[in-house]
Structure 1
Amino acid sequence: MWCHKILVAYDGSAPSHRALEVMREIAQSNPAAEVVLVHVMRLFSSGSAAAGMDTVMVEDAMAIRRELEAIAAELPNPAEVKVLKGTSPADLIVNCAKDEGCDLIIMGSRGQGGVKGFLGSVSYAVTKESPITVLIAKEGAYR
């Protein structure tokens, strides 16, 4: 099979749920394919007045991490979960895929930035910067 290690970027949105579905279909055809489930905790510079916001972001990220750990435990494929922290989600995703030796990135497209209705700003940046194949899972039925 052409795909040996898959990185799935997940943020809890409907398109990222679709990315998980697509990953499951691809991984099912190759039980030896490894899966890396990642969530990006975007860091913003915040002053002391926004300290409560930092706590909420960490709590949200840890809740998504627990969700991803449950998903990883159910997969028949070898899987690991990572929470990436930084200011550029696209760079974090692409660099993690490179560091992990992935040959496929699957992610949703929220379409809240970039070209309206086509790709979100993060998914657009990942497709532009990634040296490996990027599969964009759109919300909605595809069959």
Structure 2
Amino acid sequence: MPVFRIVRRTLLPPEEAWRRLTDWERQGSAVPLTRTVIDTAPPTRVGTIFTARSGVGRLTVDDPMEVTLWRPPVPDRPALVRLEKRGRVVRGWAELEVRPLPGGGSEIHWRESLRVTGLPRLFDPAVASAGRAVFGRALDRLLR
């Protein structure tokens, strides 16, 4: 599975960066042609399930995910959420980490491993490059 990583710094305090990154509906709206449906009652916790549906009309792909690690920010400790992707087409995982910076602000680390069913491993570099581009722009939108 191709793995990619995106790192961004922001002036946002860790609590606000975390809130923005883990607002699943907002995250869906930051990815082109995607909307997110939450399948479990709030608040987010281990076991929360949601689906990102991407596409137009009947040409859509569902990306169901489950929160398997939920560690919100506390002073002087990075926050971390891990999502397991359990779809028929999209498989893998994502980790979103928010690290406090000395003097204020946050550093965000988005790590993701994607496998698209039926796509040969020959395309792994292209999948990783596309993932970095799409999710990098989404991350920038979420942090604005």
TM-score normalized by the length of structure 2: 0.26
More strand by share: 2
More helix by share: 1
